Amino acid sequence: MDTIAYLRYYLYYVASYIRFIVSFVASKLEKYPTEVKVAAVIAVLCVFTMFVLFVRMLIMSGYRKSLRLLREHTEETYGDAMRFLLSSEAPDQMSKVEICELFGIDPTVDDEPLKKSKEKKVFAEVFYNLFINEKAENARMSNIHSMLEVFGISEHLEKEVSLGSKRRKVDALNMIRAYGLSISPWIINKLLNSKNLRLQRLAMYTVIVSSSDSTMDYFETEFFDNNSCIKDEIELAYSLNRRRKAGLKLPNLARWAHMHKREFTQCLFVRLMRRFNQVEYCDQLRDLFVPGNKKKLIEEISRTWGYLHYVDGEQLLIDSLLTQPDDTKVAILHALTRFGTGRGMDAMLDGFRHSLNPHVRYEALRCLYNYGDEGRRAFEKLELESSEADAHYFSFFHNPITLAKVRLDREQAYHPSVETVLNG
């Protein structure tokens, strides 16, 4: 009560002091023209704003210092235990008692080790930073869930998602997704309908990780179609990978490619198919392979078929090769190399002989070079037959530095070994 009375008195004092200054300045300026009055008002406002900025900086500095100290304390007290929990050495299915022992807590004395919300926020932040920096792919998620429960972090994160500011919601959703925690449906539904794009997307990605339903119909939205970008693909891949690790069935990505209309979004799902080895759905992409329509999509489908060894599509690719734009031709040639059936040899030779684009010619040669013994023989024969003007194409295959880049299997970006790529 005393504090409130003091605060009231203090505010009253400050207000009367400001009133005094304003009336003092006004009385002094009475005889001056308008422009001088305007200048004086602006000057006073500048001084006032500078004072406000200075005070805000002081307050922020105090808050940041307290957070820093708390962070240091948390790292010092629990850092080693957190690292052990994230390592592969931690035993599977640790009980809450074992977790308490690891973190040096006596559950009979202290049933709530972190009492303040600020402590929980810092603990969650420190653990999350370790989680994403320590290559925690081998960490046992069940242990992490138990630990989060012991420290009341799961509850805290849910509270942050429902009541926090936008930034805090984003941070909390990132953590929930990373640990694969489940969240109340009413909170997540609210976020799935949020007007804020970032929150809505994050809510979608969070549901993907733990949803028992693999159809996930909420992806059938125009909203997602019109606003998707590369980051969405990265985040989707991450969420799908976490889902797979949790042992849940992955959705049919070819179906999602059909559901959307924008070419970028369709390409996004086709690329994800090859990253998640969805060979069984390759057949469904034949409807989308319409030469002359959506060239980027055709290119992605060709790559996906190549990587997933969908040999049934080889003839379709060979037939459409000559009518495709240059970038798609390269994708088709790469796919034929990966099939390695021998039927693509003529297409490669044609690619080199009849194309005008130097990039396509070089890539055709590269595919031939990588097309087994038969391909290598054809390459050598072609080199002997080639004119002097074409000699520079072959020079790339003789220099040790450039030769290192000739091998197709070094192209990690297209390889569907999700485990290495995502967790590496």
**Interface contacts to another protein, rule CB under 8 A:** 32-33, 35-36, 38-40, 42-43, 46-47, 49-50, 53-54, 56-57, 60-61, 129, 132-133, 166-167, 170-171, 174, 196, 198-199, 226-231, 233-235, 237-238, 271, 275, 358-359, 362, 392, 395-396, 399, 401-402, 412-415, 421-424
Q: Apex CA 218: angle with CA 216 and CA 220, to 5°?
A: 100
418, 275 in Cβ contact below 8 A? yes
Nearest distance, CB of residue 254 and another protein, angstroms: 19
Nearest distance, CB of residue 403 and another protein, angstroms: 10
CA distances from 66 to 62, 63, 78, 117, 118 (A): 6, 5, 18, 14, 10
Q: How many CB atoms lie under 10 A from the CB of residue 205?
A: 19
Nearest distance, CB of residue 171 and another protein, angstroms: 8
Nearest distance, CB of residue 61 and another protein, angstroms: 8
How many CA within 13 A on the CB side of residue 229?
5
Q: Which is nearer to another protein, 289 or 397 (by Cβ)?
A: 397
62, 112 in Cβ contact below 8 A? no
Nearest distance, CB of residue 98 and another protein, angstroms: 28
Closest CA relative to residue 224, chosen from 245, 197, 206, 244: 197
Nearest distance, CB of residue 32 and another protein, angstroms: 7
In angstroms, the CA 177 to CA 239 distance is 7
Q: Under DSSP, is residue 357 helix (H, G, I), strand (E, B) or coil? A: coil
Residues 6 or more apart whose Cβ sits within 8 Å of residue 385: none
Nearest distance, CB of residue 422 and another protein, angstroms: 5
Tallying the residues shown for the chain, one arrives at 424
Q: Which is nearer to another protein, 341 or 423 (by Cβ)?
A: 423
Q: Which is nearer to another protein, 207 or 237 (by Cβ)?
A: 237
Q: Which is nearer to another protein, 60 or 163 (by Cβ)?
A: 60
Nearest distance, CB of residue 222 and another protein, angstroms: 13
In angstroms, the CA 329 to CA 273 distance is 21
In angstroms, the CA 359 to CA 416 distance is 25
Q: Which is nearer to another protein, 11 or 50 (by Cβ)?
A: 50
- Residue pointed to by tokens 């100290």: 69
337, 321 in Cβ contact below 8 A? no
Q: Which is nearer to another protein, 118 or 392 (by Cβ)?
A: 392
Nearest distance, CB of residue 412 and another protein, angstroms: 6
And the tokens for 130? Answer: 């370790």
275, 241 in Cβ contact below 8 A? no
In angstroms, the CA 99 to CA 109 distance is 15
Q: Which is nearer to another protein, 145 or 198 (by Cβ)?
A: 198
In angstroms, the CA 172 to CA 100 distance is 24
Nearest distance, CB of residue 2 and another protein, angstroms: 34
In angstroms, the CA 278 to CA 249 distance is 12
Q: Under DSSP, is residue 152 helix (H, G, I), strand (E, B) or coil? A: coil
In angstroms, the CA 411 to CA 259 distance is 30
Q: Under DSSP, is residue 310 helix (H, G, I), strand (E, B) or coil? A: coil
106, 100 in Cβ contact below 8 A? yes
Nearest distance, CB of residue 405 and another protein, angstroms: 10
And the tokens for 155? Answer: 């509850």
Q: Which is nearer to another protein, 95 or 138 (by Cβ)?
A: 138
Q: Which is nearer to another protein, 14 or 55 (by Cβ)?
A: 55
Q: Which is nearer to another protein, 264 or 281 (by Cβ)?
A: 264
Q: Which is nearer to another protein, 198 or 258 (by Cβ)?
A: 198
